[in-house]
Amino acid sequence: MIRSRGFIWLPLLATIAACGSSDNDALAPAKSGEAISTNDKIVAMSGTNIGTPMAERIAVLGLLNKRNGQTRDVELKPGEAIRFDKVVIRLRACEKTAPWENQPEEGAFVQLLVKERPPGTSEAERWRNVFSGWLFKENPAANVVEHPIYDVWVKACKMRFPGEEAPLEKKSSEEAPVVDPALIAPSSAPQSPPVQEAAEEVSPSED
């Protein structure tokens, strides 16, 4: 059981979020590299969804291809999915503990679909749900993605809580203003003569 108060309701959320269509082909976006909505019903228990509404949160996930060592950062909102060739990441929810909690934690409920042959068979490739569950940033060993090619982990859950201030934007007044020279009136103060840049040549004195 998760001890943090901010995550007490997550086991029930995971059970509800895991329910859904078993047609994995319908869950895979047609295009690669484009996040799309999966028309998920965002699950949120009344009274526990504190801070940014679930549908407006953003999870930052890391994706690793173990064959070529390529990694990439993926940003998804709950209810979105994104495809990269033969792998699909689907986000159902993300959560983090409030700033006043003693044990900070960030997590995301992720589903990983891979287009591959069923292990030990020669059948045609099809989309398989190889992982479905919560992943945690501060405690990655609590739940891991066990797949020979792909790995996914949580980097952040972007959300705010009541009382947190939005970052102040840098004021443009710090930059020097640009003034049109034509608008500057000539000074009425007496002008000093220009400084002679070169000294006059002195002819050699006669003995």
pLDDT band at 20 (very low <50, low <70, confident <90, very high): very low
Q: What is the mean pLDDT of the chain?
A: 77
pLDDT of 184: 57
Q: Six-digit token pair at 120?
A: 């030990």
Would 167 be classed as within a structural domain? no
pLDDT of 157: 96
Q: What is the pLDDT of residues 134-184, one digit of tens each?
A: 999 999 999 999 999 999 999 999 999 987 765 545 444 455 556 566 555
Tell me which residue range forms the domain holding 73.
5-158
11-20, 21-30, 164-173, 197-206: the lowest-pLDDT one: 11-20
Backbone angles phi, psi at 122, to 5 degrees: -110, 20
pLDDT of 24: 66
C-alpha neighbours within 13 Å on the C-beta side of residue 128: 12
CA 38/CA 83 separation, integer angstroms: 12
Q: Six-digit token pair at 77?
A: 């909102």
pLDDT of 163: 79
CA 207/CA 145 separation, integer angstroms: 102
Q: What is the pLDDT of residues 172-197, one digit of tens each?
A: 445 555 656 655 556 565 666 655 55
pLDDT band at 87 (very low <50, low <70, confident <90, very high): very high
pLDDT of 79: 93
What one-character DSSP code corresponds to residue 173? G
| Whether 83 contacts 63, CB under 8 Å | no
> Residue 11 region, left (φ>0) first, then alpha (ψ -120 to 50), else beta?
alpha
pLDDT band at 133 (very low <50, low <70, confident <90, very high): very high
Rounded to 10 degrees, what is the CA torsion of 196, 198, 200, 202? 150
The one-letter amino acid code at 87 reads: V
Query: pTM for the full model?
Result: 0.67
| Whether 157 contacts 96, CB under 8 Å | yes
Count, residues in the chain = 207
Would 73 be classed as within a structural domain? yes
Would 207 be classed as within a structural domain? no
Provide the number of structural domains found in the chain: 1
pLDDT of 110: 97
Residue 201: is it exposed, middle or buried by C-beta count within 10 angstroms (0-12/13-18/19+)? exposed
Would 145 be classed as within a structural domain? yes
pLDDT of 51: 87
| Whether 106 contacts 96, CB under 8 Å | yes
CA 144/CA 110 separation, integer angstroms: 11
The CA-based diameter of the chain, rounded to the nearest angstrom, is: 116
What one-character DSSP code corresponds to residue 22? -
Q: What is the pLDDT of residues 101-121, one digit of tens each?
A: 889 999 999 999 999 987 777
Would 153 be classed as within a structural domain? yes
Would 55 be classed as within a structural domain? yes
